[in-house]
Amino acid sequence: MKKVEMIIMPEIPKSDLHPSWVPEDANENFACSVMGGIDTKVNANSEEKVYDPNAVRRVPLRRKPTLDEIVKGVGEGNRVMLSKAITLIESNAPKDFDKAQRVLQGLLPKTGKALRIGITGVPGAGKSTFIEAFGQLLCSMGYKVAVLAVDPTSPLTGGSILGDKTRMQNLSREPNCFIRPTPSGGTLGGVARKSRETMMLCEAAGYDVILVETVGVGQSETTVRNMVDFFMLVVLTGAGDDLQGIKKGIMELADAIVVNKADGENLARATVTQGEYERMVEFIRPATEGWKTHAYKCSALTHDGLPELWAVMRKFEKETKESGVFQKRRKAQLLSWVRGMIDEHLHNLFFNDPMIKGRIPLVEHSVVNGLISPSQAVTELIRCFDMDRAAIKHMQSGKM
């Protein structure tokens, strides 16, 4: 009987079981790990296989990249590094804030080069389907496309884009496309800051077009209008007069109104609706100086009308850059961003101040019971705040 050769395997240290690579979007449930194989050494003088524990290939441990490596990686268009940088931006941990800002600072010279396009419309209008089709069209033309979402209404579910991931399956497979769901930032201001900074990182990573989807509710349209160059409103056929009345404010933000689902039996109705919107835009203030907003129709399903819309956007870019309106808007957006952040910072500083926290219920009680006027209440709170800040400063300077 043939002797069965046994190779006794020593216990592999736990550290060697660490995966050396995991997919970019893996979470802790990712079950598959890629490990180095185990080498066996054949003894030249005998047939016997000897296991040499030193021959176990050491798999380098996954270590966190340094900030410089992240900056370099993003600048070279490395998607893993881009995701890491965005994770830093999206983090709510104070220790990550400085890191994120250092990464952004390092990449600042490479930002600002993309065409930023905002897409809004009521749920079901076809925004995600449009982005999927339009994104693929742009990728086929050789552009690198980044897709972001601003949806502060559902920070827990990950926002509209995550919910619609099935509708972006083809686009997410495009090597030249990067899709990032809405960040969970709590307030709209928080989400907006993260989205703006994410947009800048994508630009630094070489993305030519940024598509920002937003839900058609509340203030998010205005917020997205303030972070993009071209703003597009996706509408449906057959919306009643009353609904269209509500949209007037949003129409005033749009550089294009697009009647989607212009396909099949709906095509004729879409053409009529397009005409109605075209008449309506005559009466509204254009969103962009020197640009005439028009109504268009398309089908995100059949892709009809998409190349024409891209041509409109390129025309918009060319004309506004020539007139200087493009650059003027970008500058104004930056300044309003800074102002907005100052507002938010001061707001947080004020309402998180321990003295104010304790004082507010009392002062509010006095106001509602007619003991002091609202103006007096504000003066009183601001005075408390000033005193508290002065005391904190005094303590910090070691005088107490």
Ligand X SMILES: Nc1nc2c(ncn2[C@@H]2O[C@H](COP(=O)(O)OP(=O)(O)O)[C@@H](O)[C@H]2O)c(=O)[nH]1
- 181 three-class SS: coil
The first and second tokens of residue 315, run together, are 């025309």
Of 240, 183, 186, 249, residue with least CA distance to 222: 249
Task: Work out how close the CB of 264 gets to ligand X at its nearest, in angstroms, rounded to a whole number.
Answer: 6
Q: What residue 125 binds from ligand X, Mg ion, none (CB within 5 to 8 A, per partner kind)?
A: ligand X
Residues in contact with Mg ion, total (CB under 5 A)? 4
Nearer to ligand X, 197 or 221 (CB): 221
Q: Could you tell me which stretch among 27-35, 82-90, 240-248, 259-267 binds ligand X (CB under 6 A)?
A: 259-267
Nearer to ligand X, 168 or 210 (CB): 168
Where on the phi/psi map is residue 106: left (φ > 0), alpha (ψ -120 to 50), or beta? alpha
> What is the chain's alpha carbon radius of gyration, rounded to the nearest angstrom?
28
Q: What is the per-residue binding string for Mg ion in 92-111, x denoting contact by CB under 5 A?
A: --------------------
- The least distance separating ligand X from the CB of residue 380, rounded to whole angstroms, comes to 47
Handedness of CA 282, 288, 292, 295 (dihedral sign): negative
CA pair distance 272, 295, nearest whole angstrom: 11
Q: How far is CA 173 from CA 69, 230, 310, in A?
A: 26, 26, 22
Comparison of 171 and 363: residue with beta carbon closer to Mg ion: 171
- How many whole angstroms separate alpha carbon 382 and alpha carbon 392? 15
Q: Which one among 167, 193, 196, 225 touches ligand X, defined by CB under 6 A?
A: 167
Which is it for strands 49-50 and 41-42: parallel, antiparallel or unpaired?
A: antiparallel
Nearest CB to Mg ion, comparing residues 164 and 353: 164
160 binds Mg ion, rule: CB under 5 A? yes
Q: What are residue 60's phi and psi, to 5 degrees?
A: -60, 135
Distance CA 82, CA 68 (A): 13
Phi, psi of 112 (to 5 degrees): 90, 0
Among 112, 123, 206, 340, binds ligand X (CB under 6 A): 123
What span, in angstroms and rounded, lies between the C-alpha atoms of 297 and 273? 9
**Nearer to Mg ion (CB atom), residue 127 or residue 297:** 127
Q: Which does 36 bind (CB under 5 to 8 A by kind): ligand X, Mg ion, none?
A: none
Among 120, 128, 136, 176, binds Mg ion (CB under 5 A): 128
| Residue of 151, 164, 203, 229 interacting with ligand X (CB under 6 A) | 164
- Helix-then-strand count for the chain, H and E: 15, 9
Stretch that binds ligand X, among 125-133, 203-211, 362-370, 374-382 (CB under 6 A): 125-133
Nearer to Mg ion, 164 or 197 (CB): 164
Annotate 342-376 with DSSP letters as a single string.
HHHHHHHHHHT-HHHHHHHHHHHHHHHTTSS-HHH
CB-wise, 106 or 126, nearer to ligand X?
A: 126
CA 82 and chain centroid, separation: 12
Q: How far is the CB of 82 from ligand X (least distance, A)?
A: 24
273 binds Mg ion (CB under 5 A): no
Beta bridge partners of 212: 118, 148
| Residue 261 touching ligand X (CB under 6 A) | yes
**126 touching ligand X, by CB under 6 A:** yes
Task: Find the part of the chain contacting Mg ion (CB under 5 A) among 6-14, 156-164, 193-201, 250-258.
Answer: 156-164
Residue from 116, 127, 196, 297 binding ligand X (CB under 6 A): 127
Check if the beta carbon of residue 30 is closer than 8 Å to that of residue 69. no
Interface ranges with Mg ion (CB under 5 A): 127-128, 160, 164
Interface ranges with ligand X (CB under 6 A): 121, 123-129, 160, 164, 167, 260-261, 263, 299-301
